[in-house]
Chains A and B, each alone.
Chain A
Amino acid sequence: MKPVRKQRLYLILAMVVAIAVAAGFGLNAFNQNLMFFFAPTEVVAGKAPDTAVFRLGGMVVEGSVQRPGDDLRVRFDLTDFEQVVSVEYTGILPDLFREGQGIVSRGRLRADGVFVAEEVLAKHDENYMPPEVADSLKKAPGDLE
């Protein structure tokens, strides 16, 4: 390679590395803001805002979904398999909402520690398979197929 070209190559490489490092520092600094939701453990540890609106994400605990009234009010527990936070929500749930499903809800904490949600979004996993396969997996957990 001619020296001029070599120089240009190094210049470009240096530029790309410098930008990557700068972006790395920037993202690290704003790490918490880039998190879409808080986990129940963080909420129990008091890391989530007391009064402001935030998002809470976790898995709906099996058997915890209750409908106390005739209206659209639902109560359920959310867990990250370490801590549990109770959630109350009034409204229409997304198609994917079910027990054992990951969800993200937006709302605020009430004084008694119950999370009052204004919005519930379902988070689905990265597995795709036909229903028959899913059924047989439930009977004998293991690999796909």
Chain B
Amino acid sequence: MGSPPHFYRFTGKILPWLSLLCTLLIAAGLWGGLVEAPADYQQGDSFRIIYVHVPSAWMSLFVYVVMAVCGAIGLIWHMKNAEIIAVSSAPIGASFTFLALVTGSLWGKPMWGSWWVWDARLTSELILLFLYLGVIGLYAAIEDKRTASRAVAILALVGLVNIPIIHYSVEWWNTLHQGPTVTKFDKPSIHVSMLIPLLLMAVGFKLFYLISVLIRARGELIERESNSNWVSELLEKR
């Protein structure tokens, strides 16, 4: 990860390429999911919501783990870049969680017959949204940004316990939400023609997170290092 100016220069160089790749993946995923994939035998066309719902839900968990791990690295080694990645992850993680909940609701209404039920999967995912919002709020509330990142890291680590609960909720308890499709240990129970667009979208969303978090981290870095020489050089170059 190296020093802040090196991080800033390096990410500036790779961001355009990441954006290009991300756009291509998501475009291919959308084409595959909305046009190429056949309708489901039970759910008809409504199952196509899977292509935003499932990648969002996966990312809501993935981003949280990244946030907690980077927070822990920040706490233990006092690495500035890790602290910044941790706090920059919260808004995008909250966005993915929000999307998972909203698209799930829009899928639940026609299929289950209800916008919302308080089963273990939906409730634990809602708690995840509140955890993200707590992280964002706590970080904004503390003036000194280094103290703030430490407080936020501890909150993120406490909330980490919710992640396995979300994942296994559908196996540990009776829920209205169905069990896992792709991440089961045996073969995924989704036809290849439907699986490929889903994987394309999943990788696309992962890249999207990387892009968004890097842009946010660069802004955060500039603000924190506003008095340093490398920011002066940056200003002169503009």
Contact = CB atoms under 8 A, between A and B. Distances in A.
A16 B160 contact: yes
Given A15-B157, A35-B173, A130 B181 contact: no
A9 B72 CA distance: 8
**Chain A CB within 10 A, most for which of B165, B172, B173, B179:** B173
B185 interface: no
A82 interface: no
Contacts of A143: 187
B178 interface: yes
Contacts of B117: 36, 121
B175 A96 contact: no
B2 interface: no
Contacts of A128: 40, 43, 47, 50, 181, 189-191, 194
Contacts of A95: 110-111, 113
A144 B39 contact: no
A12 B76 contact: yes
B75 interface: yes
Interface in A1-37: 5, 8-9, 12, 15-16, 19-20, 23, 27, 31, 34-37
Contacts of B110: 94-95
A31 B119 CA distance: 12
Main DSSP-derived SS at the B contact region: loop
Interface in B160-197: 160-161, 165, 172-176, 178-181, 184, 187, 189-194
B194 A129 contact: yes
Contacts of B194: 128-130
A71 interface: no
Nearest to A138: B41
Main DSSP-derived SS at the A contact region: mixed
Interface residues of B, number: 44
B157 A35 contact: no
A104 interface: yes
Interface of B: 38-43, 47, 50, 72, 75-77, 110-114, 117-120, 154, 157-158, 160-161, 165, 172-176, 178-181, 184, 187, 189-194
30 contacts: A8-B75, A15-B154, A16-B160, A19-B160, A20-B161, A34-B120, A34-B173, A36-B118, A36-B174, A37-B176, A94-B110, A94-B111, A94-B112, A121-B113, A121-B114, A122-B112, A123-B176, A125-B179, A126-B179, A126-B189, A127-B181, A129-B194, A130-B191, A131-B38, A135-B41, A144-B187, A144-B190, A144-B191, A145-B191, A145-B192
